[in-house]
Amino acid sequence: MSLARYAARRLVFLVGTLFGASVITFALVNVLPGDVAVMILGTSGSQEQVAVLRQELGLNQPVYIRYIDWIAGALQGDLGRSLRFGDPVAALIAQRFPASAFLAFSALTIAVLVAIPLGVVAAVEQNTWKDFLTSVAAFAGISLPNFFWGMLLILLIASYASLLPPSGYVSPFVDPAAAVAHVLLPASALGFSLMAHITRMTRSSLIEELRSGYIELAKMKGLSDRRIVFRHALRNAFLPVLTVIGFQLGFLFGGIIIIEQLFAYPGLGRLAFNALLSRDAPLIQGSVLTIAVVFMTSNLVVDLLYAVIDPRVTSGGGS
């Protein structure tokens, strides 16, 4: 099986999962106990007001009809109109999307660039003080909530040291330098736990690979330690790391909501959070579905990357 065929297969699975995800998204808002109309109007709304709103929202129709209407619209790019803003949900999302994408990408980049070298050093110099310090730092990274790191960064770097701005967003296409300055703190806070997880996994996976048979063969070829680590072990050790990255992306995308809130960062996460607070049902559905699609797509990318690195994946079974 070629890589293209593998990708095609994964895509088919993705479509199936996506369908399931859309059902769940819709169900979260429409089937769980709690009347959307009451949610919107709060306890102050009279019975007539509720009835009128229900009519307006089409809530009197059976739930599956409403789902079909919604998903049919969604397939044509129409996610309905926000109850609060009155604008089309799709437009609102499109407007906020780039900021969040930039934030997530920066967080991922920072995490990978810092964590992999740290993990390699810890593995190669196993049981030295470097390894110990890295382990301690990694444990700290996974033990504190990202918003706590965010607050700490705001306090130390933005407030006390005034090195970087504590909030806001500048598009990297408008002013790259300012964009980086603005994104650095939230991205670090967001990427910290991912960084810790990648470091730990790189370390343990590299240690395991360095014990495997092909390393002995490489030694018998007379290769240098450097070549053995970087050409042989690291590539294989990266596979479980990739799995961890895929897994942790879910936490990263979830973390965006909190981090954007903390750093007053105008992205999709804030939009979704505000929609949740104002019970803006179409906007909730739209943004939740969008985040799920992005998450699934990233996982697809991770899977394909895995297949590129490990040729056994595309040949089924393997050895």
Residues of span 257-296 touching other proteins by CB under 8 A:
257-258, 261-262, 272-273, 276-277, 279, 284, 288, 291-292, 295-296
- In 3D, which of 207, 199, 260 has the Cα closest to residue 234? 207
* Residue among 144, 184, 302, 305 that touches other proteins (CB under 8 A): 144
Is residue 189 within 8 Å of 258, Cβ to Cβ?
Answer: no
C-alpha Rg value of the chain to the nearest Å = 24
Does 71 participate in binding other proteins (rule CB under 8 A)? no
* Residue among 137, 251, 302, 304 that touches other proteins (CB under 8 A): 251
Which CB sits closer to other proteins, 179 or 288? 288
What is the smallest separation between the CB atom of 19 and other proteins, expressed in angstroms?
Answer: 8
Q: Which of 48-56, 68-76, 145-153, 173-181 is the region at the interface with other proteins (rule: CB under 8 A)? A: 145-153
**Using CA atoms, how far apart are residues 272 and 258, in angstroms rounded to an integer?**
11
Site residues for other proteins, 7-66, by CB under 8 A, read 9, 12-13, 16-18, 20-21, 23-24, 28-29, 32-34, 39
- In 3D, which of 210, 208, 207, 201 has the Cα closest to residue 228? 210
Q: Which of 78-86, 87-95, 147-155, 176-184 is the region at the interface with other proteins (rule: CB under 8 A)? A: 147-155
Does 4 participate in binding other proteins (rule CB under 8 A)? no
- In 3D, which of 236, 235, 244 has the Cα closest to residue 198? 244
Site residues for other proteins, 167-206, by CB under 8 A, read none
For the chain, where are the alpha helices, taking DSSP H only? 3-30, 36-41, 47-57, 63-75, 89-124, 129-143, 146-153, 176-210, 213-220, 225-227, 234-262, 268-277, 281-309
Please give the structure tokens belonging to residue 288. 């939740």
Does 85 participate in binding other proteins (rule CB under 8 A)? no
* Residue among 3, 65, 155, 163 that touches other proteins (CB under 8 A): 155
Which CB sits closer to other proteins, 20 or 58? 20
Does 128 participate in binding other proteins (rule CB under 8 A)? no
**Using CA atoms, how far apart are residues 100 and 109, in angstroms rounded to an integer?**
14
Does 105 participate in binding other proteins (rule CB under 8 A)? no
